[in-house]
Structure 1
């Protein structure tokens, strides 16, 4: 019971620390019901969230990209669904009554202990690559408000300082402030999300300043992910 409660707490709080319980490692599966309880918190969240999106994310503990043949599968008495993962390990999580009632299993074709499983709230990517500075700040604030709702102690003293654009390679990472000097912002190696490990991606952090709300950020290529940055 303590192990199950530990998993529920970690998923519901979307904690930044790694959270894979002992029973999951032993049985090579995770409870859909437990994951559901963590994911449904965002669905029920009643405050503004129009700039946000939520996925169920799998990431390697060592920060390496997922193998090309990596699979996340939902299996129950009446179903077996492959949950496709994007380039940063996120899947659209189906909220299914039948899977909940059956307490279906979430499995991967690897050892669970090497991976972290969590709800992941991120900022929706714009197809035209044009982001109003004021909207980026609002998106970050919406994400912080949600995190404070599910984990008040962990986020009480955090502040929105910017957003992170993540790309597969450096040549794709061309992000600029429109109307400033026109130069692309610095590109570093890092994880897709600030609370992860590793340097598998090319990332650009757009930090907020006094002029943010009056400007636009232009990304020449669609990022793999767009994440709020809290400090």
Structure 2
């Protein structure tokens, strides 16, 4: 099996097999668990994405298989799963499997911003969340993120009528077709980008509906 190097946020490209090494995925995921700097606004998942940017099939399945275990890893609407960090699975050299041809998909650790249940986000906290994400990415991939800067956050929705995001007291921000995360391909979702400016830290962003994901935007 040929795989690209695994670092947090970087894709793993499956080519010639029907499984992925749990150990390889574990090494990429455990970096966030061990990360000692502030990360209270962040969460990490293991994400599966179609190379062409299309949504995953509704019957797509990701599973962890080992000598003594068989676990289904449910995926959310943007292909993220809670990844179990299991010593037994590591020791058994367990594998990750999907019920599709692996070559059509990309697998990666995915950092995103925790969604607030009340839909109200302090501008200063959104900026801090983006900076936390950038600091982490620089820790695991310094060359790739050294020259990047936080410019905003992206709210992702399944369809345009749900994408009502605005600065408190303002009009809805533009919603456009796009991928769930800025580094992906495709236009399967409706996304709203909240860009930072001088007034960000004094404002509030209100999302009328719960987004599928909130992600940092680096440029």
Interval of TM-score (by shorter of Structure 1 and Structure 2):
over 0.9
Q: Which residue of 2 aligns with 1:20?
A: 13
Question: Pairwise mapping of residues 1-231 of structure 1 onto structure 2 (< 5 A)?
Answer: 3=2, 7=4, 9=5, 11-15=6-10, 18-21=11-14, 25-179=15-169, 182-231=170-219
Q: What do residues 97-122 of structure 1 show as CA deviations (whole Å, max 9, x unaligned)?
A: 11000110100000000000000000
Structure 1 residue 13: deviation in Å?
Answer: 4.0
Where does structure 1 lack aligned partners over 5 or more consecutive residues?
Answer: none
Q: Give the TM-score, by structure 2 length.
A: 0.97
Alignment gaps of 5+ in structure 2: none
2 CA distance for matches of 1:30 and 1:102? Answer: 14
For the residue of structure 1 that corresponds to 2:16, the secondary structure is: helix
Do 2:8 and 2:110's aligned partners in 1 also have CA atoms closer than 8 Å? Answer: no
Aligned to 1:223, the other structure's residue is in SS state coil
* Structure-2 separation of matches of 1:27 and 1:140: 36
Structure 1 outlier segments of 4+, above 6 Å? none
Deviation at 1:20, TM superposition (A): 1.2
Q: Give the drift of 1:27.
A: 2.3
Rounded to whole Å, the distance in 1 between the matches of 2:135 and 2:81 is 23
Q: CA-atom RMSD, angstroms? A: 1.2
Q: Using the alignment, how far apart are the partners of 2:118 and 2:73 within structure 1?
A: 27
2-side partners of 1:202 and 1:93: how far apart? 26
**Aligned mates of 2:42, 2:72 — CA distance in 1:** 24
